[in-house]
C-alpha cells in the first residue's frame, strides 16, 4: 500500500462523494476527465468505480493523449480505462464534463476549459506544489465550481495525512493480515461522513475560521481535526473484522475508542487550541523576571511562533549576556530596566499614578515612586496603562509578592467581587479545571458562588461546556454540618440564577465521577450522564492538596495558576516551571488579553 497511490485515492474518493452530493448529481451518471495515468490516477479511478462511477464515463489522458482502445502502447493498467471514442485533446474532453481530476502537472487546464464544463463542475487539481489550474483562476472562471487542491492554503485540501497513519492504526489494532478494498472503502466513507458533522472549535481556530460548515468550501475534514484518529481507525478495524482479515477482533468498541482518545491526548487538544488562538492576534507580554534563562527561552519560542510580543524587564547587560551565552535570538525585543536612569521619568510618572491609587492605603509619594523600581510593580503599571497587554512573573518570587502588585494596581474586573485561582489539570481523561486552589482560604457561600461563576466563564471562553461538581464530604444532604450546608446552598442559588449551567453538589469526588453510582442512587443529578470537568473545592486546603496529589501521583500536568477576576491578565508562574509550561502560560495570557481587549 502506497501513500501517494492508495492514500490519494481514499482521500479524493471521500471528497468526490461529498462534492457529488452537494451538486445533487449521481456518481454513476457524471462524466469524469482524468489528467494523468500513473499509479495515483489508476488507484483513484479504481476507488471511484468501487464507489459507483462507471468506466465508460471516464476519459483518462496520459502524456500522449486520450487513452483509447485503438492505441497499441497501453500497459494492462491503462487498458482498464481505454475509451471507445476517437482521439481528442483535453480541451475537447472537458466540454460538458462534470468532474475533472488532475494528477499530472501544472498549468494544463485553462479557464476556458473550466468554463466549458457542465453546470456546477467539480475540479480536483491535485498536482503539487502547483496544480493543473490555480484556485484563483478556477473560481474566477466558474463561481459555481467546487475546487480542491493538494495545498493547505486553499479550501478542500486533499491531504494524504487524513488517512495516514489512521488506516494503519486500525489495521494493526486488529492484526489484519492485509489491507483490502473493504478497509479502504470504509476509510473513504468515514472521512466523507465526518465532514458533515459540526466542526470542533479547535479546528476552526487552527484554520483561522469562525465556522467551517459542510458545503462547497468544506467537503473533506481538515488534517488538524482530532476526531480523525477515532473515526478512520475504527471504521478500518471494523471492515477488517467483517471482511475476515482480522486476527485479533475487537469486542468492546467503546473501550477501543476511549483507548484511541487516550493515545491522542485530549490535553494536547486544549493546548493546541489555546496556542492557535493566541497566534491569531499576538499580544504584548511583559516578563518581570527576564534575567532568568528559562524566561528568555520561553520568550524566544513565543516570539518565533507568533504567540506573543515579548517585553523584557531587568538589567540590560545581564539579559544581553544571557542571550549571547545561550545563542538566543532576541535582537529586536524591547528590554527595559526599571532601575536605570533611562527610565527615571517613566518611574516618576508611574509612581505618581500609583500614589493616586494607594494614597489612603498606606503609601506616601516617596514610597510610591520608590516601589516602581520593583519589576513586578513596574510591569503591572505597564499593563494598567496599556503599554503591555499581560504580565508574567513568579518564577523566582513568592506567590504573595507577585499577586499583591496585581491586586493593588490592576484590580478586579467589572462585575467581579473577588479574585480566585484556577488550575487546568491535563489528565488522561482530558482537561479538568480546579478552583479555588491558590487564594481564598475558607470561602463564604457568596464567595463560593463567585468562584464558581468566574471559573465557568473562563472554561466557556475556551469553547468548552462547563460541567461543574461542587465538592464536599457530604452527598446531597447526607451530612447536615454547616460546611456541607454552605456548599449545598451555593449550588441551589447558582441553579436558580443560572438554570442553563450544568452543576451539582454537594457531592464527594468518588460519586461525581461514578456514573453507575449516580444513576442508581442519585438519578436526579445534572451530572448523571456527563462526568464533570470543573471541580469547585470547599476551601483552599482541599483544592491545593487535590491538585498537587493529582500532579504528583496521578501523572497530570498542571497549567496555571490562572487568576480569575482581574481586570487585565497577570499570571504567576509556579516555582520551577519548565520552559514548556511557561510557553503555555504565555499563550493563556494572550488569549485572556484577546478576550478582555
Q: Model confidence over 254-308: pLDDT tens digits?
A: 889 878 876 765 545 788 888 888 998 999 999 999 999 999 999 999 999 999 9
Provide the pLDDT confidence category of residue 395 given band limits of 50, 70 and 90: confident
Going across the sheet that includes 534-536, the strands are 502-507, 467-471, 534-536, 430-435, 420-427, 557-564
Who has greater pLDDT, 492 or 209? Answer: 492
- pLDDT value at position 462? 83
For domain 420-565, the CATH superfamily is Isocitrate/Isopropylmalate dehydrogenase-like (3.40.50.10750)
| Average of per-residue pLDDT across 374-386 | 96
Does 312 have pLDDT greater than 50? Answer: yes
Q: What is the pLDDT of residue 350?
A: 95
CA-based nearest residue to 262, from 425, 431, 428: 428
Q: What is the pLDDT of residue 210?
A: 57
What's the whole-number mean pLDDT along residues 131-151?
A: 96
Q: Which CATH class is domain 3-152?
A: alpha beta
Percent of the residues in the chain that have a pLDDT greater than 90, as a whole number: 78
pLDDT at position 208: 65
Tens of pLDDT along 320-335? 999 999 888 898 899 9
* Same CATH fold assignment for domains 162-263 and 276-410: yes
Out of 115-129, 258-272, 310-324, 439-453, least confident range = 258-272
User: Which of the four pLDDT bands, split at 50, 70 and 90, describes residue 396?
Assistant: confident
**Beta carbons of 184 and 14 less than 8 angstroms apart:** no
* pLDDT for the residue numbered 260: 86
Report the C-alpha gap between 95 and 16 in whole angstroms: 19
Mean pLDDT value across residues 459-482: 92
494-510 pLDDT tens trace = 999 999 999 999 999 99
Q: Take residue 368 and report the three cell numbers written for it.
A: 510610591
How many other CB atoms are found less than 10 A from the CB of residue 375?
Answer: 25
The CA-atom distances, in angstroms, between 417 and each of 448, 451, 452 are 11, 9, 12
Q: What is the model's pLDDT at position 370?
A: 93
The pLDDT, as a whole number, for residue 169 is 95
Q: Mean pLDDT, to the nearest integer, of 216-221? A: 96
Q: Structure pTM? A: 0.65
In whole angstroms, what is the distance from residue 353 CA to residue 152 CA? 50
Determine the pLDDT at residue 264: 65
pLDDT, residue 265, reads 56
Cell 510557553, residue?
Answer: 583
Percent of the chain clearing pLDDT 70 (strictly above): 97
Three-state secondary structure string covering 575-594: CCCCHHHHHHHHHHHHHHHH
Contact 247, 175 (CB under 8 A): yes
Higher pLDDT, 268 or 486: 486
Average pLDDT score over the chain = 92
Distances (CA, A) of 429 to 142, 266, 523, 533: 47, 7, 23, 10
Among 84-88, 445-449, 570-574, the range with the most confident prediction by mean pLDDT is 445-449
Whose cell is 476507488? That residue is 47
The mean pLDDT of 375-388, rounded to a whole number, is 96
Q: Where are the domains of the chain?
A: 3-152, 162-263, 276-410, 420-565
Higher pLDDT: 49 or 327? It is 49
276-410 fold = Rossmann fold (3.40.50)
Can you tell me the mean pLDDT for 472-488? 95
CATH 3.90.850.10 holds for 162-263:
no
State how far the Cα of 165 lies from the Cα of 174, in Å rounded to an integer.
15
pLDDT at 314 over 70: yes
Q: Is the pLDDT of residue 174 over 70?
A: yes
pLDDT at 267: 47
Amino acid at each position: 500500500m502506497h501513500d501517494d497511490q492508495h492514500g490519494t485515492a481514499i482521500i479524493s474518493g471521500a471528497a468526490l462523494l461529498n462534492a457529488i452530493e452537494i451538486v445533487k448529481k449521481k456518481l454513476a451518471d457524471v462524466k469524469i476527465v482524468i489528467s494523468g495515468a500513473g499509479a495515483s490516477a489508476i488507484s483513484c479511478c479504481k476507488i471511484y468505480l468501487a464507489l459507483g462511477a462507471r468506466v465508460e464515463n471516464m476519459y483518462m489522458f496520459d502524456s500522449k493523449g486520450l487513452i483509447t482502445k485503438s492505441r497499441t502502447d497501453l500497459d494492462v493498467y491503462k487498458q482498464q480505462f481505454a475509451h471507445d471514442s476517437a482521439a481528442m485533446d483535453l480541451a475537447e474532453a472537458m466540454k460538458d464534463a462534470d468532474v475533472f481530476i488532475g494528477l499530472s502537472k501544472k498549468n494544463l487546464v485553462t479557464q476556458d476549459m473550466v468554463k466549458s464544463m457542465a453546470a456546477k463542475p467539480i475540479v480536483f487539481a491535485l498536482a503539487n506544489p502547483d496544480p493543473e489550474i490555480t484556485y484563483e483562476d478556477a473560481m474566477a472562471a466558474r463561481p459555481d465550481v467546487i475546487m480542491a487542491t493538494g495545498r493547505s492554503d486553499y479550501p478542500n485540501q486533499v491531504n494524504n495525512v487524513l488517512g495516514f497513519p489512521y488506516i494503519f492504526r486500525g489495521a494493526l489494532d486488529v492484526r489484519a493480515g492485509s489491507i483490502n478494498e473493504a478497509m479502504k472503502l470504509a476509510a473513504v466513507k468515514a472521512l466523507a461522513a465526518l465532514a458533515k458533522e459540526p466542526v470542533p472549535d479547535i479546528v476552526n481556530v487552527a484554520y483561522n475560521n469562525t465556522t467551517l460548515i459542510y458545503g462547497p468550501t468544506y467537503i473533506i475534514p481538515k488534517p488538524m481535526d482530532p476526531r480523525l484518529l477515532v473515526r478512520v481507525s475504527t471504521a478500518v478495524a471494523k471492515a477488517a473484522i467483517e471482511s475476515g482479515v482480522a486476527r485479533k477482533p475487537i469486542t468492546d468498541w467503546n473501550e477501543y475508542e476511549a483507548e484511541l482518545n487516550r493515545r491522542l491526548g485530549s490535553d494536547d487538544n486544549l493546548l493546541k487550541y489555546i496556542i492557535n488562538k493566541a497566534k491569531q492576534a499576538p499580544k504584548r507580554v511583559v516578563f518581570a523576571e527576564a534575567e532568568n534563562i528559562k524566561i528568555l527561552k520561553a520568550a524566544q519560542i513565543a516570539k518565533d511562533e507568533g504567540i506573543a510580543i515579548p517585553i523584557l524587564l531587568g538589567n540590560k547587560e545581564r539579559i544581553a549576556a544571557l542571550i549571547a551565552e545561550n545563542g538566543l535570538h532576541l535582537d529586536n525585543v524591547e528590554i527595559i530596566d526599571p532601575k536605570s536612569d533611562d527610565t527615571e521619568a517613566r518611574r516618576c510618572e508611574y509612581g505618581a499614578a500609583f500614589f493616586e491609587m494607594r494614597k489612603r492605603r498606606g503609601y506616601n509619594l516617596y514610597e510610591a515612586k520608590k516601589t516602581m523600581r520593583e519589576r513586578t510593580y513596574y510591569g503591572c503599571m505597564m499593563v494598567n496603562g496599556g503599554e503591555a497587554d499581560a504580565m508574567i512573573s513568579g518564577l523566582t518570587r513568592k506567590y504573595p509578592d507577585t499577586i499583591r502588585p496585581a491586586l493593588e494596581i490592576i484590580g478586579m474586573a467589572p462585575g467581579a467581587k473577588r479574585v480566585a485561582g484556577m488550575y487546568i489539570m491535563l489528565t488522561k481523561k482530558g482537561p479538568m479545571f480546579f478552583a479555588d486552589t491558590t487564594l481564598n482560604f475558607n470561602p463564604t457561600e457568596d464567595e463560593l458562588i463567585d468562584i464558581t461563576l468566574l471559573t465557568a466563564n473562563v472554561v466557556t471562553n475556551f469553547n468548552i461546556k462547563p460541567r461543574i461538581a461542587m465538592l464536599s464530604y457530604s452527598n446531597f444532604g447526607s451530612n447536615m454540618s454547616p460546611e456541607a450546608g454552605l456548599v449545598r446552598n451555593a449550588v441551589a442559588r447558582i441553579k436558580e440564577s443560572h438554570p442553563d449551567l450544568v452543576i451539582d453538589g454537594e457531592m464527594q469526588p468518588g460519586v461525581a465521577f461514578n456514573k453507575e453510582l449516580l444513576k442508581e442512587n442519585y438519578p436526579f443529578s445534572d451530572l448523571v450522564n456527563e462526568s464533570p470537568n470543573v471541580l469547585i473545592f470547599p476551601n483552599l486546603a482541599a483544592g491545593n492538596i487535590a491538585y498537587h496529589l493529582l500532579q504528583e501521583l496521578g501523572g497530570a500536568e498542571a497549567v496555571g495558576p490562572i487568576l480569575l477576576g482581574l481586570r487585565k491578565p497577570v499570571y504567576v508562574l509556579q516555582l520551577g516551571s519548565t520552559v514548556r509550561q511557561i510557553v503555555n502560560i504565555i499563550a493563556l495570557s494572550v488569549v485572556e488579553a484577546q478576550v478582555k481587549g
